[in-house]
Structure 1
Amino acid sequence: MTESVLDVLMYLFETAGEDGLPPEPNRDGLREELERAGFHHREIERALEWLDGLAGHRGGDVASPPTDRAVRIYAHSERARMDAEGRGYMMYLEQIGILSPHQRELVIDRLMALDSEEIDVDDIKWVVLMVLFSQPGEESAYARMEDLVFDDRAWVVH
């Protein structure tokens, strides 16, 4: 089975249930479940590290959070992995009110923590869902994003 960290995360996300993963899940139990599902040890460990990174950002402790009027300039390393369509999609999510500037930064951080060389719009959609799901009080934004994930026609480049 060829899988990526995102495949492991999507599996966890889809099987987590309504309450999601607890803040301190039973790591040994998760590892065993993921191994039974056919995932390799390396991807399991990287997915758990990714979740640790997400949990570390839950407090919203950004030294200087971006303002609503800030313009995001992507670093060379970010542009190398996320093409113009992906960056445009991120801007679209901000413009329609699904992501705040702070959440955008968290999504970009989690995207860069994936093991894939190229990040496409589908990857962005799933990471946005996971980030919104992990944040209390974002049920409305999560529901709107879920509609976008399952309705590919909602995102059309003009």
Structure 2
Amino acid sequence: MFDVLVYLYENYWRPDACPDPQQLQRKLSAVGFESDEIQEALRWLEGLAHSADTSVGSAMPGSLRVYTEAERDLLGEESIGFICFLESAGVLPAPMREMVIDRATAVGTGPIGLEDLKIIVLMVFWSLGEEPDALILDELFVAAEDRLIH
């Protein structure tokens, strides 16, 4: 599923730039994605659209987020730490944080890997038609071991 999401992020500048679901499914299949992987990604994207509709305005700016035990189990310490980092850097407002958490827990297996969470964060920005700050893009795309320290 995550490979399909990355493909969509790289090839369509916004969700509304994507073709209708049937045509998108054919295109993804023609590129080489498996049918079950495509279906899972399309269902996940439907949930993302719903989450965008319900999360905007649902969390107050500066609010403290307390994670439930189920969320902690599904997200894991590393992913929660990364979400907190993005929040404290001022690039992940509370409504977007809630979308990330919603979509990460929708994956259903936990704890979710940090690389998968980074894709989810990118897809949340993508779904809202927003481009993350250049430094955050670097954080999302470049592996820590590949960074050069000056």
TM range (shorter): 0.7 to 0.9
- Selected match of 2:66 from 64, 73, 86: 73
Deviation at 1:21, TM superposition (A): 3.0
Query: Counterpart of 1:146 in structure 2: which amino acid?
Result: L
Deviation at 1:34, TM superposition (A): 1.6
- Selected match of 2:31 from 28, 32, 37: 37
Query: Counterpart of 1:77 in structure 2: which amino acid?
Result: A
Deviation at 1:91, TM superposition (A): 0.3
Map 1:66-145 onto structure 2 (within 5 A). 66-136=59-129, 138-139=130-131, 141-145=132-136
Change (3 A) 1:63 1:102: closer
Normalising by structure 2, we get a TM-score of 0.81
- Unmatched tracts of structure 2, length 5 or more: 146-150
Identity of aligned residues (%): 34
* Aligned match of 1:12: 8
More helix by share: 2
Deviation at 1:64, TM superposition (A): 6.4
- Unmatched tracts of structure 1, length 5 or more: none
Spell out, residue by residue over 1:62-104, the C-alpha distance to the aligned partner (whole angstroms, 9 max, x if none): 4962223322121222211222111111000000011001110
CA distance in 1, matches of 2:45, 2:55: 18
Structure 1 stretches of 4+ with a deviation exceeding 6 A read none
Change (3 A) 1:63 1:110: closer
Give the paired residue count. Answer: 145
Structure having greater relative contact order (Cα 8 Å, sep ≥ 6): 2
Spell out, residue by residue over 1:96-153, the C-alpha distance to the aligned partner (whole angstroms, 9 max, x if none): 01100111000011111225433121111111111112214x33x3544312123334
Query: Does 1:51 find its partner at 2:45?
Result: yes
User: Aligned-residue CA RMSD in angstroms?
Assistant: 2.4
CA distance in 1, matches of 2:33, 2:106: 19
Change (3 A) 1:38 1:135: same
Tell me if structure 1 keeps the 8 A contact 2:104–2:117. yes
CA distance in 1, matches of 2:17, 2:123: 14
Tell me if structure 1 keeps the 8 A contact 2:15–2:126. no
Q: Secondary structure at the match of 1:68?
A: coil
Q: Secondary structure at the match of 1:83?
A: helix
Query: Counterpart of 2:65 in structure 1: which amino acid?
Result: R
